[in-house]
Structure 1
Amino acid sequence: MSIREVSIRDDSIRLGQFLKLAGLAEDGSHAKDLIEAQDVTVNDEVEVRRGRQLRHGDVVAVDGEQARLVANR
């Protein structure tokens, strides 16, 4: 399975924002629903906190789609 790389300028980003940025959620409401339904994993562990701070290298997965947070170079 391929992992899409998504770059950001800052050192971290909240999970809800990253889901939208990576195209794993349509909007903030969809991101909230995915997280509440426990459909989101961060580094292979279910995450239920929408405000979880993600750092470079973290891998987020939803329904078999994966995205890795990378530094904007």
Structure 2
Amino acid sequence: MSHQLLARYDSFDKTAFDGDAENRSTAGVSLLQLWHATTGSHWALFNISDADKARAWLDKTAALGHGPTEHHFVETV
């Protein structure tokens, strides 16, 4: 089974997102796909290798003000 994270960003800062790549990598979070919706939001699909580290990364990005607006952990079936 593959564990993934689907995240919606209502406010998206590409520079901050790109600058966070090393932190994501350290947390075992790797970007699989990024979409731009017609509503202006962005959606990202990440592969997760460690759910606890991914949650810690989400908490940190939220505290810094550039985390996703909403997120869901999902897994393939």
When the two structures are superposed, what TM-score results if normalisation uses the length of structure 2?
A: 0.29
Instruction: Pick the structure with greater CA Rg.
Output: 2
Bigger proportion of residues as helix: 2
When the two structures are superposed, what TM-score results if normalisation uses the length of structure 1?
A: 0.29
